[in-house]
Chains A and B, each alone.
Chain A
Amino acid sequence: MKQLIPITLRINGVVHEILAPPWRTLLEVLREHLGLTGAKRSCQEGQCGTCTVLVDGNAINSCLYLAVEAQGKEIQTIEGIAQDGVLDQIQKSFVQKGGIQCGFCTPGFVLATKSLLNANPHPSEDEIREAMVGHLCRCTGYVQIVEAIQDAAIQMTREGAN
């Protein structure tokens, strides 16, 4: 019947071994096999960005990414961003600046911000908007999200300087 193959994934620093059909997406494996439900299931066609995770530091749509492809790579999900229960600066900025309303898009935006700021610690407003163009948010109108990302960049620069 269903062909199951072993898949080994390194997620948030922990190695997971599962058996799953080879066509399973990374999103399905995260949510259904591993109980990591922070990546959200919404459009399932790469348009909304709610399923975003980081693969080797790059933000990808996990609904379009087969789990088998992620083997041997470093996967980071929203669950792996806070350290010992302490929010990462990006998360703090989203909370403080009102970048979160219903919160369904938040994990995707936080991870996309992480990827952006790793590559470009001082993005301009236009660069922020371009980097977030694959993420829909129906609640905020994006203003407080952009403000949160700017704030995160400033705070992280400050932290780095100290």
Chain B
Amino acid sequence: MHNLRNEFDVVGRPTPKKDGTLKALGSAQYADDLSMPGMLYGKLLRNPHPHARIVRIDVSRAAALPGVRAVITGKDFPGVKYGNLPQTRDYLPLAVDTVRYIGEEVAAVAAVDEDTAEDALDLIEVEYEPLPAVFDPEEAMRPGAPLVHEKAAGNVSAELAFEFGEVDKAFSSAHYVREDRYETQPVKQGMLEPHACIGLWDTTGKISLWSCKMSPYVVWRQLAMGLGVDVGRVRVVQTVVGGGFSGGKQEAMPMDFCAVMLSKKTGRPVKIVHTMDEVLTIGHMRHPMTVWLRTATDKDGRILAQHCKLIANGGAYSSIGGFSMYLAGAMLNIPYRIPNIRYEAKRIYTNNGFCGALRGHTNTQICFARDSQLELIAADLGLDPIDIRHRNALQPGDVTANGFRIGTFAFDECIDRVVQLSGFRNKAGKLPKYRGIGFGCGSHISGARLMGHSASVAQIRVQEDGSVQLTTGSTDVGQGADTVLSMIAAEVLGVGVDDVRFALVDSDSTPVDPGTFGSRVTFFTGNAVKRAAEDARRQIAEIAAARMKVDPDDLVFRNREIINRHDDRQRMSLKEAVRWGAFQTGQMVISHGTYAAGDEKIDFRTGHGNLSPAYNPSACAVEVEVDPETWQVKVVGFWGADDSGFPLNPLAVKGQVIGATVMSFGHALYETLVRIDGRVMNPSFRDYKMPLTTDVPKLAEFQHSNVITWEPEGPFGAKEAGQGAGTGVIAALANAIYDATGVRMTSLPMTPERIRSALEQMKQERRAGTKIAAPAE
């Protein structure tokens, strides 16, 4: 395996990001950097009530303000609800009769500058009739609770129940059973670029949106849906994306609808940019979850069954939440062998900002619960925490209870690698007081087979200078899609990465694509690119073969040349072949390739089916130091390993894995939206605490290793890299804090005050003689 890298000229080599130079120069054009002649500036009026009926909106004073060009309300739109899954479409471009959370958009203004637009917002009069509101999902489920949506009885936004195997039988005959409850918090994407867009509704009726979208074709369909127009009239142009991590950059947002509608009213392009206060107040965040996990094992800690009940606080709208509920249940099946699973999930509407996908989508919460509990099981049964993980590790060739077919899956190797890198055996339970080490594992999918749009397409055009124009519907959001997809094309065509130009998405000209989510781009689009490049190579080989009078199958492509493998004196340059084809025979080298991961069916209601073409495991150990005065947790060491297949661009894989890891540090230790009666009390980076340079271990104590496998279904053996490695980190931190202090944290974030109060509670229980899990000290 170690000489795999020598087999290729391009893939497998650390390759700087293609747009890195542009970004280093400060000349990459993000949405807020664009302007257009005659452009107006838009602002959104946000509702201040958690739940209210809109009695009346009077925009006349705002419209009369000098400099204001248009004011719109929900009535300017056709009233068609839009959204993701057909059964959960509940978004409107602007609220019409009811507002359901603080920050929901009720009107919008376009003016000659932002100051005027802002002033105009103060002149819009909205009369609200406040309605009873509910914020806690368990309260929202009780009979008589206020209904967030009239049609959603019990405030149930989505409900799923799966049963795989014989769960009752497994529990009744088990040697050991334990049940624990874990709670997670609302966490924001935290991208630094606020949402921004420019809308243009031109005189021909064409509706264009320039915006920082990760999944521009999702936005394209949603815009058409909410505007009640044919999708062919809509054009979405992706600008450079300043960080995504899912959320509002996946979907059409009220700002997008308002920018185009204000443009229709004024005949001018209209730009709208969120402030960070708006970004942190409005919806799109990770689902806060309460997870009850009941696990049965035999005496050796082999898991026999798991029963998971989950309640997700969905907030006021659905976003992708229906799918999130499927996914959390699916993720119970990896990375451990669990033959019998029962899963019951409810996503509950409340009068809070709404939740959806965020890096590690539901897997993060499930992994926190499962790997925290696994540690307790090991302790109860007197087992080694590493052994219990090995004993339950999924193996290549396994089929999980829900029908995931596990291919390459070097989980045991990842665990061993981390044990070795971290010196876990010499540290666990042996470090000085207030210092501890914890272990955690995770996994993820390499893209999902969806009921709707699953396939990716790539188009390649080889120009007469030998350069390659690569067009896909996938976006680079910083993760390195521009580079890795170009590397795949370059490897096949025997050119350099710099010879490939990667296009931003423009729905008028790029191939339609599901989007950038679920760790699908390298795998799905990468496979499509590989096939498109192979088709282009075949076309060029035919042209060259005719000219060189050889068999096209004898030609190899290398260093921008086409060479006869039997006689390397017979060669011609790539560009010569392309020119010959174009000039003499009229053959343009234009190709396309697709990948759809087969036609396997997933039944999202029963949970059965093989969701992804590949799965990857990860393991990590984290060492912490807890300050006994302040209870501040400092992460002093991190060692991780994951199986990303063959890492096509090791420089980018490292960046993805470490980025996901540090994001999980934030989720575990610092980040939460503090909400009182639905009001976000910390909508600022001053108070919403994301990890800083000083919060991560020193370079020498921050190591990650790829266990290299060759995934036969992946492009050049590759698998997922950007999400799975972060999923086990939170449990590892909880386990490390336990090792350091004896305190078992079951709710996030694990802040100093929470650790302190858990410690106090533990002491009280100990004094009262309550039996508790044995502390480390």
Contact = CB atoms under 8 A, between A and B. Distances in A.
A144 B17 contact: no
Name which of A79, A101, A132, A140 has the most chain B CB atoms within 10 A of its CB: A101
B313 interface: no
B713 interface: no
Interface stretch (A3-11, A65-73, A87-95, A153-161): A87-95
A18 interface: no
Counting contact residues on chain A (CB < 8 A from B), the size range is 35 or more
Contacts of B602: none
A84 interface: no
A87 B23 CA distance: 11
Q: Is the interface of B mostly helix, strand, loop or mixed?
A: loop
A63 B380 CA distance: 55
Nearest to B686: A47
Interface residues of B, number: 58
A100 B24 CA distance: 8
Interface string B634-659: 00000000000000000110110011
Given A91-B25, A136-B685, A144 B655 contact: yes
Interface string B21-32: 111111111101
Given A40-B242, A138-B663, A50 B192 contact: yes
A18 B71 CA distance: 31
Contacts of B193: 40, 42, 102, 104
A115 to B, nearest CB: 15
B493 interface: no
Given A42-B192, A140-B658, A98 B276 contact: no
Contact of A103 (B23, B661, B691, B702): B23
B254 interface: no
B27 A38 contact: yes
Contacts, number: 175
B669 to A, nearest CB: 14
B532 interface: no
A114 interface: no
A43 B684 CA distance: 7
A146 B27 CA distance: 23
Contact of B28 (A77, A103, A136, A137): A103
Given A129-B694, A136-B692, A140-B655, A103 B16 contact: no
B243 A78 contact: no
B581 interface: no
Contacts of A25: none
Contact of B190 (A103, A135, A138, A144): A138
B191 A138 contact: yes
A141 B658 contact: yes
Given A94-B24, A96-B16, A104-B30, A147 B659 contact: no
Interface in B685-707: 685-686, 690-694, 696, 698-699, 702
A29 B346 CA distance: 50
B316 to A, nearest CB: 25
Interface in B186-201: 189-194
Nearest to A107: B26
B511 interface: no
Nearest to B658: A141
Contacts of A45: 276, 684-686
Contacts of B672: none
B693 A146 contact: yes
Contact of A100 (B17, B192, B690, B694): B17
B655 A139 contact: yes
Nearest to A37: B33
B685 to A, nearest CB: 4
Interface string B647-684: 00001101100111111000000000000000000001
Interface in A107-162: 107, 110, 125-126, 128-130, 132-133, 135-147
Given A138-B191, A143-B658, 18 more contacts: A41-B32, A47-B684, A79-B25, A82-B25, A94-B20, A97-B651, A100-B20, A103-B22, A103-B242, A105-B192, A129-B694, A136-B692, A139-B478, A141-B663, A142-B691, A142-B696, A144-B651, A146-B699
